[in-house]
A and B are shown apart, each in its own frame.
Chain A
Amino acid sequence: MARNNYLTYEVKPRKILGKDRWIATLRLANRCSFDEIAKEVAARTSCQSGEISGFVNALAYEIYKWLEIGENVEIEGLGTFYPKMITKMVDNVEDATIKNCISSITTGFRPHTDLKNAIKNAGLKEYTKAKLINTDKEE
């Protein structure tokens, strides 16, 4: 695992059930735009970033198509996309209709084991203001 693969957390005060507590929250690094990702993939392959964008668009089109007919779509190494139904329960079988039972349908995602392991194996680093004067500690 590369040394720079780590997640940064920040300790914040929170009021939980009326009590003052401290909790670690994730501090996200910069957002990687789609263009940046396409450029990075292009740099590692023999393709142009435009070709990568085109491929991702084609991939998204296929994923949309399969999800719309209710199928799960697996991207190896990344995870599985599926239509996620939020349902309600009813007492009688006669009442189990689409209108009564389905609250919403959204896109669900189950991450692949490789992706989960990559995150589990990443280091953890606490964010402190002391970081600015070179006294950060890595755990």
Chain B
Amino acid sequence: MELLAFGKTGWGDELFYATLMTVAVSVTAMLVGFLFALIFTPLKLSKYKTLNFVGNFYTTVIRGVPELLVIYLFFFGGSGAIMYVASIFGYYEYIEINAFITGAVAIGIISGAYSTEVFRGAIQSIDKGQFEAAKVLGISKFVQFYKIILPQMLRLAIPNLSNVWQITLKDTSLISVTGLVEIMRQSYIAAGSTRDPLFFYSFAAVLYLLLTYISMKFINKLEVKYTRGY
């Protein structure tokens, strides 16, 4: 137990901040994922074949390639790509991207592919009559989406989004390979310096279980809220 003490003698406070870091990366990645879903869901539902192809390419590639490989691509390729873009604008200094941003964007792109599929499924399972009725009533496209489609879509999407959240939360453990100090990395450091890997990795597992448990409770409440009236 003294291994978990707060302060200089134990690893309690380090692991506490690492847990906060995991939560921060997961939430950021989830939001980045929503941003990608916002772009790619309309592409997948579009009438045009080329746009469809772009949307399908994104979700197929990202969901078919291991997360770790995507993270390596961003970890090794991220700053190179940014520097290339900067060189076009006449900036030639070395740019190093922060591990947090690399990780959040890499996991966000993965999470976005799953979110896109969830939103596509949810929109497609809304009754066609709803779209037609809105059109007949002369409701504008924007109001139609915001007031009619979105509320119905969320009810269908939330259970699946909770799965995406779980996947995202667990995927953040992979960012530890880039050196960002989240739960996994901190346990690795602690295990290395105390030579007690069994304890620290088991404790990391407990922390992840706690996070999934708390978020499930929270999501269940959301679900109740959005299924009111059904």
Chains A and B form a bound pair? no
Contacts from B to A (Cβ < 8 Å): none
